[in-house]
Chain A
Amino acid sequence: MAYEKRLDGRKADEMRKISAKVGVIKEANGSAMFKIGDTVAYAAVYGPRNFHPKFLQNPEKGVLRCKYNMMPFSGAGDRVRPGGNRRSKEISMVIESSLASVLNLEDFPNAVVDVFIELSQTDAGTRCAGICAASMALADAGFAMKDLVASVSVGKVDGKVLVDLDYKEESYDGEVADIPIAVIPRSGKLTLLQMDGRVTKDELKKALELGKKACSQIYDVQKKALKSKFSGDKNE
């Protein structure tokens, strides 16, 4: 059985519907919402601020600290027990490292920048939505960044290379590979590359090609969202 037509009728290189908004959390220094299909991520940035415990401080530059969290009834499955788990800890770590390469925190030695990512609704691709939201929130908070980071998951379902897998495709009854990537759009460099499942070298190359194209579309949405926060109130 080959996976010819996607379950929701999209083309192989077509993403779900994307929308983004900046400045959604008033009390945060920067915040953003990123929605792709039924996956919704909110990111809030606080800081730079005083960092405790002191032994974790870095006297050379500020520390980026991310927290990824799925809300209890966000998924289609069982209630997610609140308070973090091994999965969320790993994802927090990879999000941190995928954002660290664009962020310049040299002005803030010994301080910490907190990024909280909440998933209020999930349908696969959560870490990618989280990264997209977090990079917009960091820009909104006024940090010096080389570029934004755009992220999407690519993969293979039953022999077919696809962009932006949803949960039904990820749990498809057949051979599935899920490859979340994050891209610095200007240079095309990858800051996140993980893989679940198996693909051949050629398939991986093709998947990355599609992923980068999708990321440049996401980048446009991100840019537009950031700009509209400031051009929107001109009409008031």
Chain B
Amino acid sequence: MALLTKDKSVVVPGEELASGMDYLPTNGTYRDGDKIVAARLGLLHIEGRLLKIIPFSGKYLPKRGDVIIAKVEDITLNGWRCYINSAYSALLNLRDASSEFIAKGADLTRYFTFGDYIVAGITNVTSQNIVDLTLKAPGLKKLGEGRIMHIDPNKMPRVIGKAGSMVNMIKEATDCRISVGQNGIIWIQGSPNNELVAVKSIEKISAESHVPGLTERIKKFLDKELKK
């Protein structure tokens, strides 16, 4: 009947969150008898009757509809195999790669070669986590020169901010082009010094993502760093 833990508190696996049937377990929680128990390390969020945990860590799990940054790892008969910062690799099929006609037996490295980074959408994920990518949507493209950084994919929503507010702030302040993938890979292009400031501020976001008042702090941080 009662809540046993406060909203927005840090919970660990096995911690009892609520008792009775008034609350419902969702992401990262489970029901055991009349108790709701945490199954992951994270921040507890209570939305009405729903209890969920926003995890602090964990590797990227591909989801349909995600926009990610992938690295071309291998070339197969019918496409490109890409590294997506997950336990699984993804396949970019010839059909989904380009609006151009690609003839049979063409040299695929002319389009994407080993080590190229692309912004791609996930079209399909099977139960065995076989992942299909596409480049046929607005904004999906091959990335040029730039700096690649990896962060924890669970921190990505904070880096992006509400409707992209956080990443836009960094873009404007540093005058960098920034592309963020939901899998935790970020691409940054700008002048060398500003690139470094962008990297530093993103690292700061990812380290302090769970502490309130983040936007203000990042704003101050950017001002300070850019004045140097």
Residues of B close to A185: CB separation below 8 A: 14
Tell me whether A233 and B211 are in contact in the complex, defined as CB-CB below 8 angstroms, given that A140-B57, A223-B15 are known contacts. yes
Chain B 8-21, CB within 8 Å of chain A: the 1/0 string? 00101111100000
Interface: B55 (CB within 8 A): yes
Residues of A close to B129: CB separation below 8 A: 108-111
Chain B 42-66, CB within 8 Å of chain A: the 1/0 string? 1000000000000111110100000
Closest Cβ of chain A: how far from B101's Cβ, in Å?
33
Interface: B37 (CB within 8 A): yes
* Interface residue tally on A, bucketed by range: 35 or more
**A233 touching B14 by the CB < 8 A rule?**
no
Interface: B127 (CB within 8 A): yes
Q: For the complex, give the distance between the alpha carbons of A189 and B10 in Å.
A: 25
Chain A 88-120, CB within 8 Å of chain B: the 1/0 string? 000000000000001010011111000000000
CB closest residue in chain A, given B53: A144
**B210 touching A186 by the CB < 8 A rule?**
no
Closest Cβ of chain B: how far from A83's Cβ, in Å?
28
Interface: B28 (CB within 8 A): yes
Closest Cβ of chain B: how far from A95's Cβ, in Å?
17
**A145 touching B39 by the CB < 8 A rule?**
yes
Interface: B128 (CB within 8 A): yes
Tell me whether A108 and B12 are in contact in the complex, defined as CB-CB below 8 angstroms, given that A140-B57, A142-B59, A233-B208 are known contacts. no
Closest Cβ of chain B: how far from A230's Cβ, in Å?
5
5 intermolecular pairs with C-beta atoms under 8 Å apart:
A48-B87, A109-B127, A139-B13, A144-B28, A145-B39
Known: A49-B59, A230-B210. 10 other contacts (CB 8 A): A47-B59, A47-B87, A107-B61, A142-B154, A143-B40, A143-B58, A144-B39, A230-B10, A233-B211, A234-B211
Chain A contacts to B: CB under 8 angstroms? 29-30, 47-50, 59, 62, 102, 104, 107-111, 139-148, 184-186, 219, 222-223, 226-227, 230-231, 233-234, 236
